[in-house]
Amino acid sequence: MLNIKMLKPYYVKEDKRFIRVVLAYQYFSLFIDNELYQFVPMESREIIIDRNRKRVHNVFDIFVFQRGKRMVYVSVTDLLQLPEFLTHLNSIIAPYYESEEQMYQDESLEEELEELIVELEKENLRRLIDQAIDKNDRDSFHKLTETWNQMNKS
């Protein structure tokens, strides 16, 4: 019978495709048949989560746990069967998904603001053209209409 005593990342590394939860000696331990075993980074030492599929990528990797001279090999697949393992893992990676969602919201907001700024600049240019007409200022009128034409080409 497997139970999680502790699961903390040594550190979490992320890129565009994966979130990698890197594990170390004192940060991961299991109770196996009521005996405490400590994680030993001999074979695999990280849990890799695919951002797009939101699934563990390295399910066939093996983690080694040690108690004295005894070693126990546990696959990631076996660990994923434990509800407490999933709870711990989700609490570790949740902030990385939130930051990704926030990034997309920020990008969307930035695009909206950019569009708003362009519209305000156009309105301001129209007013300046109107003022040049009212003042009968031909030089300003020509410069402003040239700017207007350039702005509307792009």
Which domain-ending residue is among 75, 90, 106? 106
Residues 81 and 119 in one domain: no
Residues 75 and 123 in one domain: no
Residues 51 and 124 in one domain: no
* pLDDT value of residue 14: 87
Residues 39 and 16 in one domain: yes
- Number of neighbouring beta carbons within 10 Å of residue 40: 16
Residues 102 and 58 in one domain: yes
Number of structural domains the chain divides into? 2
Task: With residue 39 as reference, give the H or E element that holds it.
Answer: strand 35-40
Q: Outline where 8-137 has alpha helix (H).
A: 76-80, 83-134
Spatial CB neighbours of 40, under 8 Å, sequence gap ≥ 6: 25, 64, 65, 66, 71
What residues are paired with 39 via a beta bridge?
Answer: 65
* pLDDT value of residue 141: 92
Owning domain of residue 38:
2-106
Q: What is the DSSP string of 101-146?
A: HHHHHHHHHHHHHHHHHHHHHHHHHHHHHHHHHHTT-HHHHHHHHH
Separation of alpha carbons 104 and 100, rounded Å: 7
User: For residue range 10-35, what is the model confidence (pLDDT) as tens digits?
Assistant: 999 988 889 999 998 888 999 989 99
Residues 21 and 84 in one domain: yes
Residues 75 and 47 in one domain: yes
pTM for this model (two decimals): 0.61
User: For residue range 126-154, what is the model confidence (pLDDT) as tens digits?
Assistant: 999 999 999 999 999 999 999 888 888 86
User: For residue range 66-120, what is the model confidence (pLDDT) as tens digits?
Assistant: 999 999 999 999 999 988 999 899 888 888 876 555 566 666 777 788 888 888 8
